[in-house]
Copies of this chain bind each other. A is one copy, B any other.
Amino acid sequence: MASLSKTLYAIVAGVGSGTGRSVALRFAKAYPVVLLARHNDSYDSIVSDIQKQGGQAVGISADTSDPESLNAAFEAIKKEHPDKKLAAAIFNVSGGLTFKSFLELKVEDIDASHAANGRSFFNFAQKVLPQLLESVDDAPNPPTLLVTGATASVRGSARFGPFAAGKFAVRALSQSLAREFGPQGVHVAHAIIDGVIDIPRTKGYNVNDGKPDGKIAPDAIAESYWYLHTQHRSAFTQELDIRPYVEKF
């Protein structure tokens, strides 16, 4: 951990027991990290795990769907890291998943998906992009905004309407931001996570006939995110898919 950056930090929005946690632990090998989640039980143990591995982390409670809440969080971040620049921001927030017949849904379902997905990513990107732009000249790796997508980002399956609407919207924004901020030196990339992630909550799921590694290891996702962060600016990836070797697609 001798290499922990003294001038840069990273931020991960949407941490819990899966992708967000692994990404935070991975980026914490290089940078102090800020963890955002609505409730502290989502980040407390990750902060502790990062400290155990010799890193620095702070958790901040924030609701990314609410610009005011996010403003408050970023003021707290500024106090935490007054002189550091932002190396990488990872948007791993999700929500709005329902699995009902369309006619059983309420308008609140599509609104909830918008709030958790499109609006949350919009708010988060508005806060981090000015900071990422400031790092372009100095940071060893191009400043990076990484976005977690899902199968529903590219496919509107039956009974997944509102969730897919939210995920498609995030993907649209990520493309638009890549096209606007890429030429300014910020790397915006979108990952389509196509499979069940191997986390405590999915322990009992019978996925891919129970074959070994039939669920996605969140640490493996984190390695992909780290790789994207380290790409040379002459060779940015805007989108990649991630799925288990045994996944049907």
**B129 and A103: CB pair below 8 A?**
yes
Partner-contacting stretch, out of A5-13, A80-88, A166-174: A166-174
**A173 and B180: CB pair below 8 A?**
no
Minimum Cβ distance to chain B for residue A49 (Å) = 20
Query: Among residues 170 to 202 in chain A, which have CB atoms less than 8 Å away from a CB atom of chain B?
Result: 170-183, 185, 187, 195, 198
The distance in angstroms between the C-alpha atoms of A162 and B119, with both chains bound, is 9
Verify if A217 is at the interface (C-beta below 8 Å from B).
Answer: yes
A residues with a Cβ closer than 8 A to B are: 67, 101-103, 105, 107, 110-111, 114, 118-119, 122-123, 125-126, 129-130, 142, 152, 155-162, 164-183, 185, 187, 195, 198, 213-217, 219-221, 223-224, 227, 231-247, 249
The distance in angstroms between the C-alpha atoms of A172 and B150, with both chains bound, is 13
**A175 and B162: CB pair below 8 A?**
no
Closest B residue to A214 by CB, please name it. Answer: B234
**A244 and B236: CB pair below 8 A?**
yes
Minimum Cβ distance to chain B for residue A114 (Å) = 4
The distance in angstroms between the C-alpha atoms of A151 and B185, with both chains bound, is 22
Closest 5 CB pairs of A and B: A156-B175, A220-B235, A161-B176, A165-B169, A220-B232
**B176 and A156: CB pair below 8 A?**
yes
**B198 and A179: CB pair below 8 A?**
no
Contact among B102, B114, B233 for A126, CB-based, below 8 A: B102
